[in-house]
Structure 1
């Protein structure tokens, strides 16, 4: 259906519909509902899209509950061009092994069944790094996350070897933020900067049982500046790989 035809049926101009399509104008929930009605979208998919429309009305919004977090973050990752994941205390989610992720989830109070389900989902998200046109990932990981594992030593050794393998890919850059380097924006907490080909960048913050999506242009730019500063403060790709290998060997000997 052309924008002109859709606009006619909505009582809108085709330029108005085009502005929705290219992201220059955010449609109201009522507008989205009208479009979905014309296109015959019903049931769960209709409710999902209407909820996205409600959320889009807030420049920055908090999503309580694990399910909604995953839905939002997965969509961002799927459509991203570049992801900068700053994690001072843990291995970034897209680079976690199943055993490492499961250990964290169980430690946070999930049941075995819940953890297994969420691990399967998390590993599936990793496809964005290995598909034909992969996302570029810049993972800035605190040295603390490498030296002080939240899991059994054997699980951490497996995780570090897995991290080293992914770091060899052209689209994955792993940089370690060394301990004792003074203040850095990473001390304020983890964040994920997600940049797209056409859409405006967003920042995703995950907390214990909720997440925050930041879309306000000024706030996002502050995070972009922080990410750039952290890239400069972190060790080079080569030095980071050497440190990961050194820590892995130490843990292997201590197991």
Structure 2
């Protein structure tokens, strides 16, 4: 359906519809409901999208529950130009192996069946890194995440080997903050900065059973500055790859 046809059905100009599409305007919950009605979207999918439309009206919002977290984060990842993922204690989600992710989920109390479902979904999200026009990922990881894993030795060994392979891709840059670096903004907690071609950047913060999306411009500038700082705190990509391989070799020797 063209913007002209949809606009006529809504009583809006096609330029107004285009501004929704390119992110220059955010449709209200009522507008979103009208569009969904015209497009024939019903049931659970309609409710999910209406909730996202409602949340979009808040400058910073907290999404309780795993499903809403994933819905929001997946859409951000799909449309982002650059993702900067700062993780002092864990491997970034997009770079996790299935066994590593499953180990964390089960450790947090998730059932095996639910963990398997969520792992399958997480692995599907990695398409943004390998598709035709992949997103650029800058992963900044604390050395603690490599040396003190929340999983078994074999699982972590596989994870380290996968990290080294990911680092070979042109659109992925992995950097490690050394244990002996001292203070870094990364010590304040993990965050994901997502930047887009046609929309304003957002920051995604994950908590135990909820997540927070930050869109306030002044807060975003602080996180962008923090991202620049942690990149400066970390090792170069080449030194990081060498460190990952060294830690993997050390694990191999003590198996």
Structure-1-length-normalised TM-score? 0.95
Match of 2:156 in 1: 156
Match of 2:96 in 1: 96
Partners in 2 of 1:103 and 1:2 — Cα distance?
46
Moved more, 71-80 or 204-213: 71-80
1:188-235 Cα offsets, whole Å, 9 max, x none, are 100011111211111111011110111112111211111111111110
Q: What is the number of equivalent residue pairs in this alignment?
A: 255
The residue correspondences of 1:40-189 to structure 2 (distance < 5 A) are 40-189=40-189
Match of 2:217 in 1: 217
Structure-2-length-normalised TM-score? 0.95
In the alignment, structure 2 segments of 5+ residues that lack a partner are none
RMSD: 1.4
1:8 offset after TM fit, Å? 3.6
Partners in 1 of 2:179 and 2:195 — Cα distance?
28
Q: What is the SS of the residue equivalent to 2:181?
A: coil
Partners in 2 of 1:47 and 1:191 — Cα distance?
28
1:168 offset after TM fit, Å? 0.9
1:11 offset after TM fit, Å? 3.0
Moved more, 112-121 or 133-142: 112-121
2:24 touches 2:199 (CA, 8 Å); kept in 1?
Answer: no
Match of 2:193 in 1: 193
Moved more, 12-21 or 206-215: 12-21
Is the alpha carbon distance of 1:87 and 1:26 closer, same or farther for their aligned partners in structure 2, counting shifts above 3 Å?
same
Partners in 2 of 1:2 and 1:160 — Cα distance?
48
1:14 offset after TM fit, Å? 3.8
In the alignment, structure 1 segments of 5+ residues that lack a partner are none
Is the alpha carbon distance of 1:40 and 1:112 closer, same or farther for their aligned partners in structure 2, counting shifts above 3 Å?
closer
